Structure 1
Amino acid sequence: MTEGEKIIRINIEEEMKSAYIDYSMSVIVSRALPDVRDGMKPVHRRVLYGMSELGLAANKGYKKSARIVGEVLGKFHPHGDSSVYFAMVRMAQEWSLRYPLVDGQGNFGSVDGDSPAAMRYTEARLNKLAEEMLIDIDKNTVDFQLNFDDTIKEPTVLPTRIPNLLVNGASGIAVGMATNMPPHNLKDTIDATIAYIENNDIEIEDLISIVKAPDFPTGGTIYGYQGVKDAFNTGKGRIVIRAKSDIETESNGREKIVITEIPYMVNKAELIIKIADLVNEKKLDGISNINDESDRNGMRIVIDLKRDAIANVVLNHLFKYSALQTSFGVNNIALVKGRPQLLNLKQMLECFVEHRHDVVVRRTQYELDQAEKRAHILEGLIIASDNIDEVIKIIRAAQTPDEARENLINRFELTDIQARAIVEMRLRQLTGLEQDKLRAEYDELMKEIAHLKEILANVELRMNIIKDELIEVQAKYGDDRRTDIVYSSEEFNPEDFYADDEMIITISHLGYMKRTPLAEFKTQHRGGVGSKGSTTREEDFIEYIYPASMHNTMLFFTKKGKCFWLKVYEIPEGTKNSKGRAIQNLLNIDPDDQVKAFIRVKKLNDEDYVNENYIIMGTKKGIVKKSLLKDYSRPRVNGVNAITIKENDELLQARLTNGQTEILMASRSGRAIRFNESQVRCIGRTGAGVRGITLASEHDEVVGMISVKDIESEDVLVVSEKGFGKRSKTEDYRVTNRGGKGVKTMKITDKTGELITIKNVTDDNDLMIINRSGIAIRLSVSDMRVTGRATQGVRLINLSKKQDEIASVAKVTSEVELEEEQLTEGAEIPENDVDTDNSTETTNE
């Protein structure tokens, strides 16, 4: 250690804490967060001020970007040149800023994410709107501070005439905090500012009705309004943005989706690549090709669809999996008097108006000072013109200018400033015309001084000036909104694109699903051979069939006890002979899971409806569970747990009830139990349920569960795997307590095979039966006579192959008995042809 030096011991923890706090505050105040007054971070403010100092007005020529960057680096911003250049580039990009502040010439990048050209190739100047942010900066309207080397001064804020923080937004990551503000429409923002000026007590709700929502430079659609209201009210919110799209139909009948606007800050090239990857990975189905046809006239991304694809279903999947739908997390943190603060809409307007008021006061004071200085000089010049001969004599008699000033001051009681002006006066000002001009100028100045003093004395007058200047800016630069608003997600209603036609939904054993118009199926007599119902692979067969209308919501229940939702129109349409679409492409079902039951409901958002109806579920091991429909009324993409399934069991059935029905459960061994629904108490979604029927053996299992509302009119129909069926009165099944073994429901023999399903039917019902080989038949229940509970039943369908078995049975309502020759392909189906019962009866192979 050299002489005179000494070691100071300090606590390293305290030193690091102090150093980090200093660093944090530097980042927060001097780099990452915008000032609430002008909406600028230091680098952007310095770029605009530097360009102004270079004389790069909107009506002047361009200068090389490298020259501008050098000016800003050398005088104000001693950081990397790229940070300055890219800040300037962003202010010139029309897809980055709602209202660009820099007029760039050359390659300034693209919405595809292309980098701008090097700064030595591009040129720039100020935009007209930027001049509105710098106007009056030379009139002492804002404070100046010394730059980094204390050689020149720079403004601490710009005297902006536009509420730039709201208009162009801001984003930045500081230490321990971040800001993310969306841009807004200039017209709307100025209207809201004026409304605040006129009434400082205006409610945020009233301001929201004026500003409406953010307005992004790339357009798009704001989907849902709650996030917007949260952001305006609290300063934080999540705004969902969707691309704008149209569905076009080509001459060959194929549809294509055309994207014309994408969400804010989305890279178009990366978006297209992502969609292509999703198609290749089989996460998106129905897309055959994607092209970028964008040109100088606008954006156009064309997505060609496969022939059987439904445009709205594909579009919804694109919204779900790609950046065609993004969210903007609003976090309105800005510097207020040097401190970071979370701001709502009213607070931002209040801070801007306060800043404009300060600017107007300082500008007025500056102009008043200048006017009074000029008036003071004019007073001296007028005195001199009134006594011109004596003034000339005094000046000529003096040996030096200083002596002349002294003599004038003593003679006419002038100030030094006035005496200097007289001495420096030109000879032409001695003419009579010039003397008149002096008096006229003096009179005008006195009027101006009186007006400026009135402004300084009258707050209302100052506020009117602020309003007038805002209206002037609005008239010059205001434009229409680019971003549409869908105030509620229900407003985007794809049901409008589909007629509420009756459909038959079929699901195969391997999980292929489709919807087919009911008119494609013919009515036949009992015992017919049937018609070809579906083309499947050899190892596949149709397992479930179910009637529904296009606008219904389908609840899907899987054997693992999960519940999923799907609108019927979202299910791909197919002919009677097509195999359909893999269900994994429509629902997020686990690979080892399988749909077992379906429930059709009309409106899940009707509070009375969901609170007055129940879902009864049954499992293969005889467990029964009852829950409110309300528990399943909030659709989620990944589904919800509907019932807790125990080991070696699986969900078999789900029925919609009103709480007063009779429940019947049937087992493979041919036994059935009947008990009232009231014996099963209502429990939550995650409950496991209670025992409904005791099975005859370990190998026995439940094959179906029905809920009977009208005992008088509804009969019980059971079907065996060899094609035998039997119709019995519901009253034949005596009411017992749940959990018993039940009574015999069908005489099971080798000829009939074991029981596979149980239905509740009336004479108005038709049965639709499909066997494993894909043969389908539709027959009337009225053709079947009512027999005793323990009989064998009658043959419903002739199985053409010895090893063939019934795969699926469903019922539809037929008010008119149609002969086979009367019902042709495409014939009109009677109204109410689909069963009014809202739930399925699935079969168990």
Structure 2
Amino acid sequence: MEAGNIQPVDINHEMRSSYLDYAMSVIVARALPDARDGLKPVHRRILYAMHDMGIRATGSHKKSARIVGEVLGKYHPHGDSAVYESMARMAQDFSLRYMLVDGQGNFGSIDGDSPAAMRYTEARLGKLAEEMLVNIEKETVDFAPNFDDSLQEPTVLPSRLPNLLLNGSSGIAVGMATNIPPHNLGELSNALLYMIDNYEDIDEIAIDKLMEFIPGPDFPTGGIIVGMEGIVQAYSTGKGRVVMRGMAHVEEMRTGRYKIVVTEIPYQINKTTLIERIASLARSGKIDSISDLRDESDRTGMSIVIELKRGSQPKKVLNQLYKYTTLQSTFGVQMLALVNNEPKLLSLKRALQHFIEHRREVITRRTEFDLRKARDRAHILDGLIIALDNIDAVIETIRSSADVDEAKSNLMTRFKLSEIQAQAILDMQLRRLAALERWKIEEEHKEIMAKIAFYEELLADSKKILVIIKEDLQELSEKYGDERRTRIAANASGDLNEEDLVEDEAVLVTITERGYIKRVVAITFRTQGRGGRGVRGHTTRDQDEIMMMIPARTLDTILFFTDKGKVYSEKTYQIPEASRIGKGIPVVNILALDADERITAAIPVPDFNNAAFCTLTTLGGRIKRVALSEFASVRPSGLIAMGLNGDDKLGWAKLTSGDDEIILVTELGKALRYSEKQVRSMGRPAAGVIGIRLAKGDKMTTMDVIQPNSTLLTVTENGVGKQTRLDEYSPKGRGTQGILTIDKNAIPIVGKIVAARVVQQEDHLTLMSTGGVIIRLKVKDVKTAGRATRGVHLMRVQEGDTVAAVARIAAEDLKQVGVDLETENDTPDDGQKELL
């Protein structure tokens, strides 16, 4: 008995190849839709099987079990539950914007109820599904063998509809996923018509132009889309986050109390789960204003009634519901689809282009099919006309022939006919010899020749094919188009104000060199004595260094300025809160920065009416003033804040009143003070004027605004700092070199100046090192010294570590978070060595 051949196999190679085969099978054959018809294989097989069974939209419904069995037996070698659930979803008006299956019976509900068993329900093709199957018999698409090579199935449907965007899709493959939102048919048609009209310049069409026709997704459950940023990003890149809110309104009851009535909920949200969550929040006291909750939904529509206690503020409760429940949720757009059997992330424009190209191919193949059939018919009619013109000779030839085959051969020889023409003459009935029948043949021949000319002309001119696509889209839009269900709140504010939920408190916002941002409550870090070692304030990753700290309040608007001269804005509370040692999140998750763009300055703005100007300075020493009102409404993609010359970069930004004095400090210890009036106000694109003349090898390190009863605090790389009275810095003219603010001989010892701040005695300072160590101390504990001195140790930095950022925490902010400036006292560390 032979044991057989044993072949050694490398486990790594076998696992890689087998897993890759499995992954590609899931990606191509199960989880991702085709970019052309927007269908996964299971949905395509269901629709084709129903078409093949003759189950039309105008016909009778058939048992779902019969349809599922047909799909399983012929095309889809998987479980029956996968097929039935997929078919049921195509029959749910809350899942698909435009249903593809017309169901009869219980196909599930928005409450999460499962469909009834397939033996109880019936289905037939929806009207739009029939539009996706039109002309499939005309060789418009490729067919492939089914799982057992016994039948052929279509690899894609002809699809007159842009179904990928029309109904969207969701699926999880191996290592990738897709989540495409549904859209409105009329809007998609208008965008496609515009692209067709400008097809020669299609590469020049911008997303902004397409969004004039398609402002955003249109969910079957309605609701509100909050803001445009996520939509723009999703349509531009294929990925984005769309914030959805349920539709609700406030009604006053007879008792003088109020109730909130929710009539629409976000897409793919389970109504029962939402109600249970609201009830849980009411029971736990997290939302303590709810007195009663009930579901009054019926066949006419949805109605979730939330009664409030007397004296409750309905708008605040509504905002709490948005914050703590799925009444506000996020749709993560991931427009991933198969293009030539490869997964591709598609922008809105590319998705529309793929549909147009698919329709061009379908119409071309349909025309070629029709042309071939027309030519075949014309060929037969030519033979019939020859026979009618020579009817006596044809009859004589047939009568003189011994059998049918000889008659066919004799006809072909005598009248120079093809075999097909000869057979058609033999099959011709005697009634066709009547004069009227002869006229019909001649008329049919003329019509066929006209069709042939039309088909040939169509194939020769691609523009005419685009015209046909246009006509199809216009017809479908008129026939099936409807009004948008989902409203879009481009600037979500006013009644839906999230700030009602935010506590106004002092925070620190930190940004790292690699672009991680977080906010931390300012009192997280206790004050320490001068020269202390600090506490761990940041979890660094791969030596990610702290770049800046911005003291702000949660309700402030922070203006972020980048090295490219652009400005972005975001509310402080929108920046995720993190623990003292948390690393935060990438800033690109909050701001739409370019890949090579870095934040170099940030200023919190409590009120755009309380400051007149924003003063900007570059690393190269240029300065400009611009009216702060220019930055009151910054679009998500940012605005130009300052034009830059050459390789210069924007470095600092401060709010000024118009009558302030500013001070510029360089790394090598030069300081220049002058009135901001020496810098005229300019528009946003202006490049500014020379602010300070820099020595060779020197560059700017700080720009700040002079305040009454303040001092200038300077901090060096090695943690050495001092205060200096501002009257020691006499005002000079703009564009000069300034005066010394540190002992220049001490720079090799204490390091270059990393920051300078105009401070007051009751303020606190927060110093952070590149290694993530933070120390908070009082300004009054810092020694006051002259301009040309070195200073004292403020922070003991470890070897290889340096001070990265210095933030001033204003006394008024400390008071508002409960810090008693009189009683809070720390004993300075003993043994501090002052550098004279």
Tell me the TM-score range normalised by the shorter chain: 0.5 to 0.7
SS at match of 1:70: helix
1:844 CA drift (Å): 10
Percent identity of equivalent pairs: 50
CA shift in 2, pair 1:149/1:212, >3 Å? same
CA shift in 2, pair 1:427/1:464, >3 Å? same
Determine which of 244, 252, 273 is the counterpart of 1:241. 244
> What per-residue deviation string (whole Å, max 9, x for no partner) do you get for residues 5-26 of structure 1?
4222221221111111111111
1:602 CA drift (Å): 4.4
Matched residues in 2 for 1:844 and 1:308: separation? 40
> What per-residue deviation string (whole Å, max 9, x for no partner) do you get for residues 654-686 of structure 1?
xxx9963559xxxxxxxxxxx998445885697
Matched residues in 1 for 2:366 and 2:779: separation? 85
Matched residues in 1 for 2:70 and 2:607: separation? 67
1:411 CA drift (Å): 1.4
> What per-residue deviation string (whole Å, max 9, x for no partner) do you get for residues 141-182 of structure 1?
000001011111000000001111011111111111111111
TM-score, reference length from structure 2 = 0.64
1:340 equivalent in alignment to 2:340: no
Tell me the residue number matched to 1:77: 76
Tell me the residue number matched to 2:585: none
Tell me the residue number matched to 2:707: 660
CA shift in 2, pair 1:379/1:101, >3 Å? same
Range 97-106 or range 604-613, more displaced: 604-613
Stretches of structure 2 that go unaligned for 5 or more consecutive residues are 505-519, 527-550, 557-575, 580-603, 615-627, 629-652, 658-703, 711-724, 727-757, 769-773, 782-810, 824-836
SS at match of 1:489: coil
SS at match of 1:209: helix
1:270 CA drift (Å): 0.7
Q: Which has the larger radius of gyration?
A: 1
SS at match of 2:244: strand
1:394 CA drift (Å): 2.2
Matched residues in 1 for 2:610 and 2:43: separation? 49
Determine which of 380, 383, 387 is the counterpart of 1:380. 383
Tell me the residue number matched to 1:444: 447
Tell me the residue number matched to 1:62: 61
Tell me the residue number matched to 1:171: 170
Matched residues in 1 for 2:241 and 2:610: separation? 23
Matched residues in 1 for 2:767 and 2:95: separation? 47
CA shift in 2, pair 1:281/1:658, >3 Å? farther
> What per-residue deviation string (whole Å, max 9, x for no partner) do you get for residues 412-436 of structure 1?
1111101111111112111110000
1:370 CA drift (Å): 0.5
> What per-residue deviation string (whole Å, max 9, x for no partner) do you get for residues 24-59 of structure 1?
111111111110000010000000000000111111
Matched residues in 2 for 1:85 and 1:148: separation? 19
TM-score, reference length from structure 1 = 0.63
Tell me the residue number matched to 2:211: 208
8 A Cα contact 1:486 1:492, kept in partner: no
Matched residues in 2 for 1:661 and 1:166: separation? 61
Mapping for residues 615-634 of structure 1, pairs under 5 Å: none
Determine which of 257, 265, 270 is the counterpart of 2:260. 257
Letter in 2 for 1:238: R
1:403 CA drift (Å): 1.7
CA shift in 2, pair 1:394/1:305, >3 Å? same
CA shift in 2, pair 1:602/1:685, >3 Å? farther
CA shift in 2, pair 1:246/1:558, >3 Å? farther
> What per-residue deviation string (whole Å, max 9, x for no partner) do you get for residues 765-818 of structure 1?
xxxxxxxxxxxxxxxxxxxxxxxxxxxxxxxxxxxxxxxxxxxxx9xxxxxxxx
1:362 equivalent in alignment to 2:405: no
8 A Cα contact 1:113 1:267, kept in partner: yes
Letter in 2 for 1:90: R
Tell me the residue number matched to 2:93: 94
CA shift in 2, pair 1:684/1:327, >3 Å? farther
CA shift in 2, pair 1:116/1:271, >3 Å? same
CA shift in 2, pair 1:560/1:690, >3 Å? closer
CA shift in 2, pair 1:844/1:315, >3 Å? farther
Matched residues in 2 for 1:118 and 1:605: separation? 66
Aligned length: 574
Mapping for residues 104-115 of structure 1, pairs under 5 Å: 104-115=103-114
Matched residues in 2 for 1:300 and 1:435: separation? 70
Letter in 2 for 1:18: S
> What per-residue deviation string (whole Å, max 9, x for no partner) do you get for residues 508-543 of structure 1?
xxxxxxxxxxxxxxxxxxxxxxxxxxxxxxxxxxxx
Tell me the residue number matched to 1:350: 353
Mapping for residues 594-633 of structure 1, pairs under 5 Å: 601-602=606-607, 608=614, 611-612=654-655
1:406 equivalent in alignment to 2:409: yes
1:349 CA drift (Å): 1.1
8 A Cα contact 1:659 1:678, kept in partner: no
1:390 CA drift (Å): 2.1
1:458 equivalent in alignment to 2:475: no
Matched residues in 1 for 2:174 and 2:499: separation? 49
Matched residues in 2 for 1:340 and 1:600: separation? 45
CA shift in 2, pair 1:87/1:286, >3 Å? same
1:389 CA drift (Å): 2.1
Range 350-359 or range 679-688, more displaced: 679-688
1:210 CA drift (Å): 1.5
CA shift in 2, pair 1:442/1:685, >3 Å? farther
Determine which of 291, 298, 305 is the counterpart of 1:295. 298
> What per-residue deviation string (whole Å, max 9, x for no partner) do you get for residues 356-379 of structure 1?
100010000000000000000011
SS at match of 1:213: coil
SS at match of 2:332: strand
CA shift in 2, pair 1:10/1:157, >3 Å? same
8 A Cα contact 1:192 1:210, kept in partner: yes
Tell me the residue number matched to 1:311: 314
Tell me the residue number matched to 1:138: 137
> What is the Cα-based RMSD across aligned positions, in Å?
3.6
Tell me the residue number matched to 1:580: none
CA shift in 2, pair 1:150/1:839, >3 Å? closer
8 A Cα contact 2:767 2:776, kept in partner: no
Tell me the residue number matched to 1:116: 115
1:398 CA drift (Å): 2.6
Matched residues in 1 for 2:30 and 2:78: separation? 11
8 A Cα contact 1:556 1:564, kept in partner: no
Matched residues in 1 for 2:82 and 2:256: separation? 52
Letter in 1 for 2:93: E
Matched residues in 1 for 2:577 and 2:481: separation? 46
SS at match of 2:153: strand
1:158 equivalent in alignment to 2:185: no
8 A Cα contact 1:613 1:659, kept in partner: no
8 A Cα contact 2:766 2:776, kept in partner: no
Letter in 1 for 2:655: E
Range 433-442 or range 398-407, more displaced: 398-407
CA shift in 2, pair 1:683/1:415, >3 Å? farther
CA shift in 2, pair 1:45/1:684, >3 Å? farther
Tell me the residue number matched to 1:226: 229
1:44 equivalent in alignment to 2:43: yes
SS at match of 1:612: strand
Determine which of 302, 317, 330 is the counterpart of 2:333. 330
1:465 CA drift (Å): 0.8
CA shift in 2, pair 1:362/1:600, >3 Å? closer
CA shift in 2, pair 1:604/1:28, >3 Å? farther
Stretches of structure 1 that go unaligned for 5 or more consecutive residues are 498-505, 508-554, 568-586, 591-598, 615-656, 664-674, 695-758, 761-809, 811-837
Tell me the residue number matched to 1:2: 2
CA shift in 2, pair 1:693/1:346, >3 Å? closer
> What per-residue deviation string (whole Å, max 9, x for no partner) do you get for residues 615-646 of structure 1?
xxxxxxxxxxxxxxxxxxxxxxxxxxxxxxxx
8 A Cα contact 1:192 1:207, kept in partner: yes
8 A Cα contact 1:100 1:127, kept in partner: yes
1:285 CA drift (Å): 2.1
SS at match of 1:272: helix
Matched residues in 2 for 1:262 and 1:81: separation? 31
